[in-house]
Amino acid sequence: MSDSSLVFALENGSLSALSKIPKSDLHSHAGRGGHISYIEKYANVKITPNEVPFESLYEMNQWLKENVKCHLPGGAEGYLKQIEASFAQAAADNVTVLALSFCVDEIQLLGGMEAFKNTIDGLREKYAPNTKLYPDLALGYFPEEVNALDEILERKFFSGVDIMNYMGTYTMDELKRICRKLKENELILKAHIGEFGEADDVWRYAEELGLDQIQHGVLAAKSDKVMRYLADNRIQLNVCPTSNVMLKVSADYETHPIHTLFANGVKVTINTDDLLIFNSTLSEEYLKLYKAGMKAADLEVIRQTGLHYA
């Protein structure tokens, strides 16, 4: 697809043209990447999307439970329906490069690494045959997860790791030790930093842990020094605009930090985070940023950055 096709689709405000253009989603939590309409159709129910920003992550998770998960079976069956929805969405929006993150307890839910790998590969093949999957292992939920690390890495299923919820689970020294091991296994190192907290956190964690990419990282826009560090070291931020608006990290799309980050030479990509909750597809994210003042040619640069993930 040529450069001009994205520009054309944006200038015409055409979501259907946008949905046909190959895109990447590099920040998507596996069970939450589907579209509400997919769950509605499956469960034969009507789900009203949340339209006002959430006050907290707790409130966001409660919304998912009370509006989506309540329509799905429990245990592995419901979980697999959510994964199926994520792949179906990737196919519907032509997401050809997809990094979904999975937690250790999701691997355990499906009966261990061998069964997990086969099941996820099978679902991708069936629902998103044209999508290349780059699975991330999400770490930071419970300290015992590190005991499962050797067995998980041995299968060579994961291409990256996403450290989240690290505060309270690990000290910086523990994180460094874990990251060294992951680096030895040649995994792309990512972490959720700079969504909440301080701009300096982005620089500090990237430097100390040797991160390749950062999930969110938008607070970096508050500091010229941190932006220069990210630009000089080619550290990519996988940004999720609607997630930031819905969690009050950014007031709106016009003032979203992605404008400043891009203008300062920081490598950024556009992603969905939790589509099932935030109800904004990748195509919609591109269009929202275009309407908020980003140039179509700049959005094309961002799209290309994402497609060159691997």
Stretch that binds Zn ion, among 16-24, 144-152, 273-281, 289-297 (CB under 5 A): 273-281
**Beta partners for residue 23, in sequence order:** 95
In the bound state with Zn ion, the residue whose beta carbon lies nearer, of 84 and 273, is 273
In the bound state with Zn ion, the residue whose beta carbon lies nearer, of 216 and 303, is 216
- 140 vs 106: CA distance, rounded Å: 14
Residue numbers 124-153 binding Zn ion by CB under 5 A: none
Binders of Zn ion: how many residues, by CB under 5 A? 1
Among 273, 284, 285, 300, binds Zn ion (CB under 5 A): 273
Q: H or E element: which one contains 61?
A: helix 57-67
75-92 and 113-127 helices, crossing angle to 10°:
40
- 306 vs 25: CA distance, rounded Å: 7
Minimal distance, residue 101 CB to Zn ion, in Å: 8
CA distances to 71, 139, 300 from 36, in Å? 11, 27, 27
Minimal distance, residue 138 CB to Zn ion, in Å: 9
In the bound state with Zn ion, the residue whose beta carbon lies nearer, of 105 and 154, is 105
Q: H or E element: which one contains 103?
A: strand 95-103
In the bound state with Zn ion, the residue whose beta carbon lies nearer, of 212 and 273, is 273
In the bound state with Zn ion, the residue whose beta carbon lies nearer, of 273 and 300, is 273
- 193 vs 174: CA distance, rounded Å: 17
In this chain, which residue has its C-beta nearest to Zn ion? 273
129 phi and psi angles, rounded to 5 deg: -60, -25
Stretch that binds Zn ion, among 66-74, 137-145, 147-155, 270-278 (CB under 5 A): 270-278
- The footprint of Zn ion (CB under 5 A) covers 273
